[in-house]
Amino acid sequence: MTMPPEGHGTRILGTGSATPEKVLSNQDLEQILDTSDEWIRQRTGIRTRRVVDQSTGAGTISLACDALENAVANTGIDPLEIDLIICATCTQEMTCPSAACRAQARVGAFNAAAFDLAAACSGYVYGINIADTLIRQGRHKTIAVIGADAMSTVMDYSERSVSILFGDAAGAAIITRDENPERGCIYQNLGADGRGWECLYMPRREIDVPESDKETPIRLGCLRMNGREVFKFAVKKFLSVIETTLQEANISIDDVSQLICHQSNLRIIESARERLGLEKDRVYVNIDRVGNSSSGSIGLCLDELNQAGRIREGEIVLMVAFGGGMTWASSLWRV
Ligand code: UT7
């Protein structure tokens, strides 16, 4: 959907993020799994991930609250100016109340409506697209979008093909109305294909485990993944979503100053970068340090870039994600 250049636009007022202190390295995983640092680095590009200390009660809610608090501090905004909080997550400790409500209470954003959004790893990009649309429509003026996942809380650490990938993180952005209609999200795409749900799912009940996945033991409440299928889907989807987005917006890849891809696997990101012919410094990577943090991934990348002064006014930034569902999303911004 291309945004009409009338009325007003939007801008990212500021960003924040949160990562737990505890580091889980490949060497740590070698101690508990039949795996090796070399295998993990070659197949995924990951060296370390961050994981919450569950014994202290830390988890998705604390990460979401910390990221929003950090974004509020970084922008200096009065929290009462925020009129909606969207928290993308697939690892809520509680489905009621939402993590967004908990974050609202933490920062004192008492004029904000609040809800959670479930689109797995695509959740943050779904969230910023919805925020941009609502602000352009005039329904809201200032929206906080959080992506937060404590993936370590849904990991089966005896399952080596899944647990090596994931880590915990949250990113938040505060998006507000801008008088320039050309500013903000200039093209967005949301997509889903529910037929692929069995590739990535988190069963709470035995009865929900699909026939195709009954051969190996299942730990209820933990993420199951058909890595090979997701990999094939991701490589194809990333490229086609990026190409469609640029075509529809009539923007050349040369005009994109930063491509922020969901940090799923370095090989998937590198495959898109090489096919698009982009230099390394225009495709952000932090998966080596933090692993795949699902809904937290793109928000954390955006904040790291922003804090490093690499999100400059007027430049074009493209965010692209795919994830369980299957879902995908792109968001092209003039920041
Ligand atoms: O946010 C979205 C979520 N998910 C993704 O983006 C995941 C996409 N998929 C992937 O990243 C990759 O499929 C994985 C990293 C999960 C797996 O890499 P792969 O190159 O697709 O490996 P594979 O599943 O084809 O397995 C190759 C071999 C197998 O052994 P055999 O059958 O060839 O003897 C696996 O048993 O590697 C073995 N293997 C491992 N060996 C050491 C699988 N996991 C491990 C491991 N350590 N951790």
121 is catalytic: yes
Query: Full-prediction pTM beyond 0.85?
Result: yes
Atom number, ligand 1, closest to the C-alpha of residue 324: 2
Q: How far is the CA of 227 from the centre of ligand 1 (A)?
A: 6
Atom number, ligand 1, closest to the C-alpha of residue 120: 1
Domain count, the chain: 1
| Three-point CA angle 188, 191, 192, nearest 5° | 165
State the virtual CA torsion across 249, 252, 256, 260 in degrees, nearest 10. Answer: 70
Cα–Cα distances (Å) from 251 to 130, 185, 275, 334, in that order, read 22, 13, 17, 11
Per-residue pLDDT band at 3 (split at 50, 70, 90): low
Mean pLDDT of the chain: 96
| Three-point CA angle 310, 42, 32, nearest 5° | 105
In whole angstroms, what is the distance from residue 114 CA to residue 103 CA? Answer: 9
180 is catalytic: no
For residue 123, what is the enclosing H or E element?
helix 123-136
Residues shown for the chain: 335
* Residue 2 pLDDT: 59
Q: How far is the CA of 200 from the centre of ligand 1 (A)?
A: 14
In whole angstroms, what is the distance from residue 110 CA to residue 108 CA? Answer: 5
Q: What would the pLDDT profile of 134-146 be if each residue is shown by its tens digit?
A: 999 999 999 999 9
The residue whose CB lies within 8 Å of the most ligand 1 atoms, and thus the one to mutate among 43, 158, 222, is 43
Residue with CA closest to ligand 1 atom 18: 43
Backbone angles phi, psi at 4, to 5 degrees: -70, 135
Q: What would the pLDDT profile of 161-191 be if each residue is shown by its tens digit?
A: 999 999 999 999 999 999 999 999 999 999 9
Residue with tokens 């070399």: 38
Residue 49 and residue 166 in contact, taking contact as beta carbons nearer than 8 Å: yes
Concatenate the DSSP letters of all residues of 186-245 into one string.
EEEEEEE-GGGGGGEE--SSGGGS-GGG-SS---TTS-EE-HHHHHHHHHHHHHHHHHHH
In whole angstroms, what is the distance from residue 250 CA to residue 334 CA? Answer: 13
Atom number, ligand 1, closest to the C-alpha of residue 230: 8
Q: What would the pLDDT profile of 94-132 be if each residue is shown by its tens digit?
A: 999 999 999 999 999 999 999 999 999 999 999 999 999
Q: What would the pLDDT profile of 49-82 be if each residue is shown by its tens digit?
A: 999 999 999 999 999 999 999 999 999 999 999 9
The CATH number of the domain where 185 resides is what?
3.40.47.10
Q: Which of 70, 74, 292, 306 is catalytic?
A: 292
Provide the residue range defining the domain that includes 237: 1-335
* Residue 5 pLDDT: 53
Residue with CA closest to ligand 1 atom 5: 264
The residue whose CB lies within 8 Å of the most ligand 1 atoms, and thus the one to mutate among 33, 161, 166, 297, is 161
* Start-to-end CA span in the chain (Å): 18
* Residue 214 pLDDT: 83
* Residue 70 pLDDT: 98
- The 3-state DSSP class for residue 282 equals helix
Residue 17, beta-bridge partner list:
171
Q: Which of 65, 121, 199, 301 is catalytic?
A: 121
In whole angstroms, what is the distance from residue 171 CA to residue 178 CA? Answer: 22
Residues with CB under 6 A from ligand 1: 35, 39, 43-44, 121, 160-161, 164-165, 225, 227-228, 230-231, 234, 264-265, 292, 294, 323
Percentage helix, strand, coil for the chain under 3-state DSSP, each rounded to 5: 40, 25, 35
Residue 72 and residue 79 in contact, taking contact as beta carbons nearer than 8 Å: yes
Q: What would the pLDDT profile of 289-304 be if each residue is shown by its tens digit?
A: 999 999 999 999 999 9
